[in-house]
Amino acid sequence: MQDRDFAIEATKWFLAPPALDSLVPEMSATREALALSAVRDLAAAFFENISAVLQTVGIPVTLASSAAHGSHWQRIHSAERIRSLKLSAFETEDDLALQERRDTLAHEVASRRMSEFVESKEGRDATAADACRFLISSLKSSKLKAAATELLLQGEVLAWSSLEGLARDLLEFILNREPKRIAALMADPAARQRIPARMTLEEMATFNFNLTSCLGTLVVAQQDLSDIKSIRTLIPALLGGDGSVTVSLGEEVCGICPSDVILSCTGEGL
């Protein structure tokens, strides 16, 4: 197999986590453009959650890369230790001092060569290829192969939960802050079907029969936005009337969880 083939095969089973800002560069600008600090906090929490998901699911690749890096360091360092044996002792130098000088020189030269290696295209390609070979080799174990699949599935669930939490917190915050926006949901036939049509006396009593600052809390208690259709329906209906909201959700869906989901809200209203 060529290096490219190893990479293709490895990434079928393992996630090589990218930097979140490079994955969705416009999200950083969107977050900073939000006017309300409370909404910026929601966006920041979402970013942190997704970053944690990427780091967690990417642990196998991180470990494999570290192992590959360590292997090349051992190769380079061992070669320099062998070369250092050519050093002869000074007249006033005992065996211990000579060994220390040899070790210091070997480490210094090996560190410099390692830096040059990892900064070169050849070095980066070799390290990546070795990491891919390490990962593919681990798949020979049926238990590790099953664990790799489970880790990706868990990552998908965690990513979906992060989006679900963002949508729910956003809906709650906006309706608590501007309860009149419920009219936008009631005016949309699809959205109206996904919000509670009636509220019991017990529910209203919980808020002392004053819903001016807790309507969103009451709504999300009955509609937790735990499915993609609710998010696609309610968020645009709530925020999209003035064209200031953009919702982009991947079409590929595994169960109730999309494999690639992005939600961004911009505009003066937020």
Instruction: Please report, as a single letter, which amino acid is at residue 195.
Output: I
pLDDT of residue 17: 81
pLDDT in tens, 61-120: 999 999 999 999 999 999 999 999 999 999 888 999 999 999 999 999 999 999 999 999
Alpha carbon 213 to its chain centroid, in Å, reads 33
- To the nearest whole number, what is the mean pLDDT of the chain? 80
Whole-prediction pTM:
0.71
pLDDT of residue 34: 64
pLDDT of residue 113: 96
Q: Is 46 exposed, middle or buried (0-12, 13-18, 19+ CB in 10 A)?
A: buried
pLDDT of residue 24: 64
**β-pair partners for 249:** 261
Mean pLDDT of 173-188: 85
Q: How far is CA 33 from CA 30, 40, 264, 267, 268, in A?
A: 5, 9, 11, 8, 9
Q: Which of 177, 167, 266 is nearest to 224 (CA)?
A: 167
55 by DSSP, 3-state: which? helix
Q: Is the pLDDT of residue 25 over 70?
A: no
Asked which of 177-181, 207-211, 246-250 is least confident by mean pLDDT, the reply is 246-250
pLDDT of residue 254: 36
pLDDT band at 4 (very low <50, low <70, confident <90, very high): confident
C-beta neighbour count of 201 within 10 angstroms: 8
pLDDT of residue 240: 60
Asked which of 4-18, 126-140, 184-198 is least confident by mean pLDDT, the reply is 184-198
Mean pLDDT of 109-137: 94
Q: In this prediction, what percent of the chain has a pLDDT beyond 90?
A: 36
pLDDT in tens, 241-265: 544 454 555 444 433 333 333 333 3
Beta strand spans in the chain (E):
245-249, 253-254, 257-258, 261-265
Q: Is the pLDDT of residue 41 over 70?
A: yes
DSSP label of 52:
H
Residue that wins the pLDDT comparison between 39 and 96 = 96
Q: Is 3 exposed, middle or buried (0-12, 13-18, 19+ CB in 10 A)?
A: middle
Mean pLDDT of 152-158: 91
Residue that wins the pLDDT comparison between 36 and 48 = 48
pLDDT of residue 264: 38
| Most confident option among 29-33, 104-108, 137-141, 226-230 | 104-108
